[in-house]
Every structure is written in structure tokens, then in C-alpha cells.
Amino acid sequence: MRSPEPAVLEARYTWGGDEFLFVEVSESMSLAANFKVMSIASKLSAMELPGMVDVCPANASLLVRFDPDILPPSTLEETVRTIEGDLTHHRDHSLETRIIEVPVWYEDPFTAEVAERFREGFHQEPGGTDIDYAAKVNNLKDAAEFIQRHHEQPWLVSMVGFVAGLPFLFQLVERERQLEVPKYLSPRTDTPKLTVGHGGCFGCIYSVRGAGGYQMFGVAAAPIFDPAQSLVDFKDFMVFFKPGDIVKFKPVTEAEYNDIQADISAGTFRYRQAPVTFDLSKALADAEGYNQELMEALNGV
């Protein structure tokens, strides 16, 4: 990226009680920080250390749960520090992943209905819509321009969590092109399932109905968390997204949204997706140019 990025230096190690090691790779969000988190997490997971319970990569930090009866804290810390040190020496900066097209009905009636119930005292501009507000704070002309910016460039799943299967999304654009929108002033007690939301520099898709504080722009047309595992995309696991996935939003009309609902009911819906190798240095050198290359993988799928 042309704008100066803070260098990702040595991580900070700290304990979350006697069962969690927290590794803060960077205080601020950046693609490089997230990439380092994912690299440490995948190398650590692959070691399958006895006593390692959960390896949870997040946006710019890593949380590891361990059983100290089996894995002494000092051994775990040394292991992670060694992995971190090796990364600095071997600049292995590519990731085997996939790009997925996610259909979204922007400005849908479901999120509009919920937004109407949470205006005064909740929202910065109770008289307007979330998307109009998002356009304004990003100095964009109108909602249409915001939606264009939202779906024309892909996003990286930088973390999965909060609730089951919810992806945090970081758009693969230069920092000055990042969309930033404050969260609601006070969190809502309700958010429709599959709401496409945004808070700070992160997008998300709410996997389940519930509380939430992100601005609401639309609904994703297809499930991302399916405990019944009825669709083919969920054959192996009830959660669809993994950290490192690349998401390309595709705007759909009400009619297209309804067609997708029919496919889901019939059990025939599948996400359009293709395997890609994501190269960090290419992304940092020319984000939007490299995105074109990534998105071409979806052609003909």
C-alpha cells in the first residue's frame, strides 16, 4: 500500500488466567498484522501439541487456550515465540485459501424494520438510515456510492467469532480507501440473522439473530451457520467461514434474493467459490490491481 503502514514489530505476550495465552501482534489493524496472526496460528495448530485446546486467530492478536495440567505455560509461550521468530526469518507470505461470492440484498426491509426500532438514543442520526449515515461519514455522495464501494472490492475474513460462525471482514484496499463507520451509540438488543454490518473498519455478517452494535446495510441471502448441515457447503462443518477466506459481495435484487431462498429450500444452493493463493506482498504493493486477479478466479465457476 502506498500509505505508510505501521511496521508489525514483536508481539506482546500476556496471560488470560491459567488457561489462556494472549499474543497481541499489533495494537492497530492492518493486513500485515492479520497475516502474521494467521501464520502463527496455522503453524501452532499444525503442531498439535498435547494440552493445546483452542487456537483462535483474531484480527491483530491470537488467543490460545491450553490445559496447564498437560502443557506448562512456559512451554507454550516458548513454542509460540519460536514460531514468531521463525516467521521473521522466513518471509513465507502466501496463503492457500478461497474466494467466495456472497450475495447481499442491500437496503432490505428486514434490517430497515429493526433499525426503525432502534433510533433515538441508539443511533447517531435517528432521522436517517444507517447506510446514509455511513455514506456521509465516509464523505461519499450517497448510499449508492457507499454500496458500490462496499461490494466492488473483496474482503478478507480476518477473524471468526463473537458468536458462532460470525466473520469479521477487512476490506482489501489501501488504508485511505477503508470504509470506517462508528458503531451504534448503544448496542441494539436485536439484529436480523445474516445482517451485513459494519463497525469501525470491520465489516461482518451476523450469523445468528441477537444483540449487535454494528451499522446495518443489508442481508446476506444464504446461510453462513447451519447447525442442521442441510446444504452441501455445510457437509463437513456447521460453520461456513474460516479466517483467511476472501469474500466478494454481490448485490442482488429482491427477485434474485427470493430465487436464492427457493434454492435454499430445495437444498440446491451452493456458494460460488474458487481456490486462490493469496500473496501478501502483491496485495500490499497494488491492492486493487491484485484484487482483479483474485476475482478472476470466480469467472466461469
Binding-site ranges for another protein (CB under 8 A): 6, 14-20, 22, 24, 26-30, 41, 53-63, 65, 68-69, 73, 159-166, 168, 175, 182-183, 199-202, 207-208, 210, 225, 227, 238-239, 241-243
CB of 61 to another protein, least distance (A): 4
Amino acid letter, residue 131: I
Instruction: Please list, in sequence order, all residues whose beta carbon lies within 8 angstroms of the beta carbon of residue 75, skipping any fewer than 6 positions away.
Output: none
C-beta of 140 vs 208, nearer to another protein: 208
As a whole number of angstroms, the distance between CA 226 and CA 233 comes to 9
Shorter beta-carbon distance to another protein: residue 30 or 153: 30
| Least gap, CB of 76 to another protein (angstroms) | 12
**Quick one: how many helices (H) and strands (E) in the chain?**
8, 12
CB neighbours of residue 255 within 10 Å:
8
Q: How far is the CB of 65 from another protein (least distance, A)?
A: 6
Question: Residue ranges of the alpha helices (H) in 163-266?
Answer: 254-266
Residue 33 in contact with residue 26, Cβ under 8 Å?
A: yes
**3-class state of residue 164 by DSSP:** coil
Nearer to another protein by C-beta: 27 or 145? 27
Cβ closer to another protein: 155 or 225? 225
**Which residues sit opposite 274 in a β-bridge?**
99
Place of cell 498484522: 33
Choose among 190, 220, 210: nearest CA to 108: 220
Distance separating alpha carbons of residues 190 and 196, to the nearest angstrom: 14
Q: How far is the CB of 157 from another protein (least distance, A)?
A: 11
> What's the min distance (Å) between Cβ of 166 and another protein?
6
Nearer to another protein, 18 or 116 (CB): 18
| Shortest distance, position 132 Cβ to another protein, whole Å | 20
| Residue 44 vs 252, nearer CB to another protein | 44
User: Between vectors from CA 132 to CA 126 and to CA 136, what angle results, nearest 5°?
Assistant: 105
